[in-house]
Amino acid sequence: MEKEPRKLVFRSTTVIFLLILSLIYFDLYWANVISFDQWKKYCSNSETIFNNRKIINETLEENQNSLDFLFSGLLAGEDQSKLKATGFACNTAVYSVHCVAKQPVRIDTRTMTVYVPADLPVQETVMKPYARQEDHNLLKIVTPVKILHGNTTPPVCQYNHEIPAVIFSSSGFVGNVFHEINEIIIPLYITTKNFQSRVLFILEDYKPSFLSKYSKVISRLSSYEVMNPAADQSVHCFPGTVIGLKFHGHLSLNSSDVPKGHKMHDLRLFLRQAYNLKFSHVSQIKRPTLMLLSRRTTRRFLNEDEMVALMEELGFRVIVVARAKAISNLNIFANMINSCNVFVAAHGAGLTNELFLPDGAVMVQVDLIGLEWAGATYYGNPARAMGVHYLRYQIEPEESSLLKIFGRNHTVITDPRSIHDPLGKEAYLNGQNVRINLARFRETLVEALSLVGDSTL
C-alpha cells in the first residue's frame, strides 16, 4: 500500500517537469524569438573567438614580417646579416650613417636613449641623426642619440605604438633650402617612403619653422603627429626603429643603393602630388615663361634690368623673384616655378627649386669663377636625372667683380682650384657679383628657347 503513493508522486513529478519544459520552450520561442541560426551562432561562438584570435595573431605576424623586410631593405651585405642575427645594425657610408633595430625597442625621450634588448653584452653606440656626417662643424649643433644594445634594464614603458619610429634631426643649415632638401627631405623620403606613412617621426632639434615649411611633404610620409622629444619627456615602446637617414648623394636618388628602387622620377611625382603642382611637362605651358632668380646680397646680377629686357625681346614672359618671403613659402613658390619652362639663376641654394620644374624644362646656371665644380655637382648633374635640360653659362673674368679687386693675373682669377677656404669662400661665394655679357648670354637663351619652343608652340 505504501508503494502506490510513491508511484503517483513520481508520475506527477514527470508531468510537472514536462509542463515546465513546454512553458520554457514557448517563452523562448515566442517572447525572445531566438532563431535556429542565432542558436547555432551562439553555440559556435567559442570557435569564432578562437578563429578570431588566430586571425589576429596571423595578422600581427604578417605585419612583423613586413616590418622585418622593410628594415632589412635599409641595409646591405654584412650589415644586413648582422641585423638578421642580432636585431640591430648600423650602416656606415662615406657621407651618412643610420642604424636599424628590427625588434621591439624602448625610446626614452628624456635622455634620447634607445634600448634594444638582446641576449648579448651591452654595446653602446652614440650617433648624431643627420644625413651627412663629413661636416664636423655642422654636427656640433646636432643632438646625439645613445643606443644601448644588449642585456639592459630599460625604464618602464609609458606609451605603446604599433608602428616603428624614425629619429632624425632638423638641425644643420636649416633655413637654407639646399641643405634642408638635400640633407633632410630627400633622405627622409629615401628612408621612409616604403613604410607607406605607417611610421612615427621623432624630430631631434625640433624646429616649428622647418615643420611648417615642409608640412605637405612630411604629412605624406607619416600619418602621425611629429614628436618633439624635448617637449615629450617620456618612454615609448615601438616594434622597431631607424635612427638617422639614408643619403644617396647631392639632390640624388640611386636606385641601386639601399633601399633599392628609388628613382628621381618617383620623387618628383611625389612632390607634384604633395604640392598639387599643375604641370608635369613643358608642353602644357602655352607661352614660354622664364623665371629669373634675383639675388640681393652676393652673386648679384649687376645688369639685371638689361637681362630682363633681352629675355622679353626673345619672347619670354619673365618672372623676377627675389630671395625673400616668396621663396621661403614653398607652398606658393613650388607652384610658381612649376609654371615656368626656363629657370635662370646664379650658383646658389635657390637652384634647388629645379626639383619643381616640369619635365623638359631648362635650368640655366650662371657659373661664377671658382664655383664650377660645386655648380656641376650640386645642381647640374642632378638636373639631368630630373628630366630637366641643363645649360651652363660660364662667365669670363671680365664679367666678374673679382677682376677689379684682384687684377687679371691674380691666382684667384687664373687658378681658382689652388685657392682654399677661407679665402675661397669669401672671394667666390661672398664677394663676387657678375655683369653678364648680353651678346654671349643671348646665345644661351636662344638655345633654351629652342629646347622648349617646339613643345609650347
212-256 pLDDT, tens digit per residue, is 999 999 999 999 999 999 999 999 999 999 999 999 999 999 999
Angle between helices 438-456 and 304-313 (to 10 degrees): 40
pLDDT of 64: 59
Mean pLDDT of the 27-41 span: 37
**C-alpha grid cell for residue 68?**
622585418
**DSSP-H helix ranges across 27-73:** 36-43, 45-72
Using left for φ > 0, alpha for ψ between -120 and 50, and beta otherwise, residue 150 falls in: left
| Least confident window among 4-8, 11-15, 91-95, 110-114 | 4-8
pLDDT of 63: 58
pLDDT of 21: 47
Residues contacting residue 356 through CB under 8 Å, at least 6 positions apart:
271, 275, 277, 333, 334, 335, 337, 338
Question: How much of the chain exceeds pLDDT 70, in percent?
Answer: 84
Mean pLDDT of the 114-130 span: 96
Mean pLDDT of the 13-20 span: 47
pLDDT of 158: 98
Mean pLDDT of the 171-197 span: 93
User: Closest Cα partner for 159 from 88, 100, 229?
Assistant: 229
**C-alpha grid cell for residue 175?**
633655413
Residue 51 has pLDDT above 70, yes or no: no
Cα torsion at 357, 360, 340, 367 (round to 10°)? Answer: 80
Query: What are the structural domains, with CATH classification, of the chain?
Result: 61-262 (no CATH), 277-456 (3.40.50)
Of 55 and 102, the structure prediction assigns the larger pLDDT to 102
Query: Residue 134: pLDDT band by 50, 70, 90 thresholds?
Result: confident
Query: Residue 454: pLDDT band by 50, 70, 90 thresholds?
Result: low
Residue 422, preceding bond cis, omega within 30 degrees? yes
Mean model confidence pLDDT for the chain:
87
pLDDT tens, position by position, 179-191 = 999 999 999 999 9
User: Closest Cα partner for 173 from 134, 207, 138, 202?
Assistant: 138
pLDDT of 132: 86
